[in-house]
Structure formats: structure tokens, C-alpha cells
Amino acid sequence: MTEVKEQIDQIIEKFRQERDELRVRAHLAKGELLEEWEKIENKLGKLESRAKEIKAATAEASKDIASAAQLLTEELRKGFENMRKRL
């Protein structure tokens, strides 16, 4: 009976250690995700700004602005995809 209690105690201790490790990893990941979220928010703001410029720009200038906006769009898509994978 004592051996069974020891085994149960060992199992519980193992799960506690694993839980604590995961808690630390989750906390660190949360910080990384928040940092990535801020980057995406900034890029989205830039994209919105570029979209306004495209609407107001001449035809030739709008091509350059549209290209920049397209690059930002791709970065945002990749950023959101990356965050979805991490969550």
C-alpha cells in the first residue's frame, strides 16, 4: 500500500512540475503574442493610411502606393496566420 501511495505522489508531482513549466511557457508566449499583435496593429494602420492615399492620388502615383499597400497586405496576412497557428 505504501508503494502505491509513493507512486501516486510521484505522478502528482510530475503533473505539478509539468503544469508549472507550461504556466511559465504560456506567460512567455503571451508576451510574444502581444508584441506581435502590436506590430500587426501598426501595419494595419499603415495599410489603412495607404488606402486613403490611393484613393486621393493620381493614377501614376497610385501604382506605387498600391504596390506598397500590397506588400503590407501580405505582411498582415502572414502575421495573422502566424498568430492563428500559435493560438
Give the pLDDT confidence of 32-42 residue by residue, as tens digits: 888 888 988 99
Q: What is the mean pLDDT of the chain?
A: 83
End-to-end CA distance of the chain: 43
* For the chain, percent of residues with pLDDT exceeding 90: 9
Q: Specify the amino acid at residue 80.
A: F
pLDDT band at 47 (very low <50, low <70, confident <90, very high): confident
Integer Cα distance of 22 and 37 in angstroms = 22
The DSSP annotation for 15-75 comes to: HHHHHHHHHHHHHHHHHHHHHHHHHHHHHHHHHHHHHHHHHHS-HHHHHHHHHHHHHHHHH
Give the pLDDT confidence of 59-71 residue by residue, as tens digits: 666 677 778 878 8
